[in-house]
Amino acid sequence: MSLKGAFHPPGDKSISHRIALMALLASGECSVTNFSPCADVGSSLDAVKLIGVGARVDENGLTVNGAAGNISKSARIDCGNSGTTTRLLMGILAGRQGDFVLDGDASLRKRPMERVAIPLRAMGAVIDCTEGRLPVTVSGGALQGIEYDLPVASAQLKSAVLLAGIQGAGVTSVREPSASRDHTERLLQSWGARISHVSGRLLVENSALSLPPSLYVPGDASSAAFFLCAAAIIPGSEVTAEQMLLNPTRTGFLEVLKRMGAQIEVQLQGTEPEPRGSVTVRFTPNLAACRVSPGEIPALVDEVPILALVATQSRGTTVLEGVGELRLKESDRLAAVASQLGLMGARITVDGDVLIVEGPSTLKAPELLQSYSDHRIAMTLRLAALMVGADPVIEGEESTAISYPGFHDTLWELTR
């Protein structure tokens, strides 16, 4: 069955998280349209409401009242399944007087938090992790700026240090091994923070933030990617994502699709607060395998599972290098992709931090597939099943609500 038509992806998850979380440090009132309805962002919103941000939803969208740093002195915060909630909150709370306990679900409790605690401790916060993981206790207070070279290209880690840095004394500077998503920097800049780029380093100083009167959240590129990538490999498909975020730190998957030979058209539809536009992808027979280097991975880190599916339909050996971070996501995404697409007949191997896909393969769906309750694995498998005209049970498929609650509705609309 082919995918045909236009759709609006939900508001971008990463930007929505940041609007909610950074409102803890900002003053003013902001009316936000197209705010993400996903469960992960719900975790951020619940957390900030618990400790001081005002938020109300009406027919116009979400109105946020910033806490300007006036937040509760102690709280136990449930971050659900959300790594972004946890790690950005660690950076924000590190600079506030108080004692906070952060915890989350079984998947989040397995993910590394020590990497965030290390620079925040160096700045003066007292942070206790449980064997490097959740539950984490943050006892914040006066911070001192640091010079920090990130050991991994992680936007969550970078954001935690920057959000601590704007509360600290002196200058905080970070350098990343390769460019990760830059939404925190963009919002800091437009909310009045002192932030600059100097010789490959990002510098922030103690700053007061003010919310703009209104914000429009562009459509989530990582959600749109599932339908756009599937359209490239399902015969007869042509799909358009409207108002999709076009920030180049997020659209690496489009570059890879282009390199494979896919037919893509992009039209700019707006620029504030970030570029956005309509993206059309058409089915393209005879896609070619390609090589993706480690420096390209941060701009497509969440799209590796769906790109692996595209690679199963492309001629030759696709090699994605430097994808080790995928082992540390909501599930071990390298193992999940290799085992579940492998069960469908794909030829996928993992060699250290390299994912290798031989194509093309004729896939077929077994009756049962396993998503490991990981939203991005569940959506990849559902589109793989659609491609082969099957309707398997995908265990944990309800996890799609973590990032894309309307996923099945859009799937239905594009296939009817």
* Contacts to ligand S3P by CB under 6 A: 14, 17, 84, 154-156, 159, 181, 301-302, 325
- 391 in catalytic set: no
Q: Rounded to whole angstroms, how far apart are CA atoms 414 and 283?
A: 14
Nearest to 22 by CA among 63, 60, 68, 70: 68
Among residues 162 and 387, whose Cβ is nearest to ligand S3P? 162
Residues whose CB falls within 8 Å of the CB of residue 104, separated by 6 or more in sequence, listed in order? 78, 79, 80, 81, 82, 86, 134
Residues 114, 92 contacting (CB under 8 angstroms)? no
Among residues 134 and 301, whose Cβ is nearest to ligand S3P? 301
Cβ 142 to ligand S3P shortest distance, Å: 26
> HSE of 262 in the Cβ direction (CA atoms, 13 Å)?
34
What's the CA angle centered on 98, arms 96 and 102, to 5 degrees?
A: 95
Residues 72, 116 contacting (CB under 8 angstroms)? no
Cβ 372 to ligand S3P shortest distance, Å: 16
Cβ 259 to ligand S3P shortest distance, Å: 22
Cβ 376 to ligand S3P shortest distance, Å: 8
Cβ 217 to ligand S3P shortest distance, Å: 13
User: Which entry of 40, 182, 220, 302 is annotated as an active-site residue?
Assistant: 302
Residues 331, 300 contacting (CB under 8 angstroms)? no
113-139 exposure pattern, b = at least 16 Cβ within 10 A, e = fewer? bebbbbbbeebbbebebeeeebbbbbb
> HSE of 327 in the Cβ direction (CA atoms, 13 Å)?
10
Cβ 183 to ligand S3P shortest distance, Å: 7
Q: Which residue has the tokens 């930007």?
A: 15
Query: 273 preceded by cis ω (within 30°)?
Result: yes
Q: What share of the chain is helix, strand, coil (3-state, %, to 5)?
A: 35, 30, 35
Catalytic residues: 302
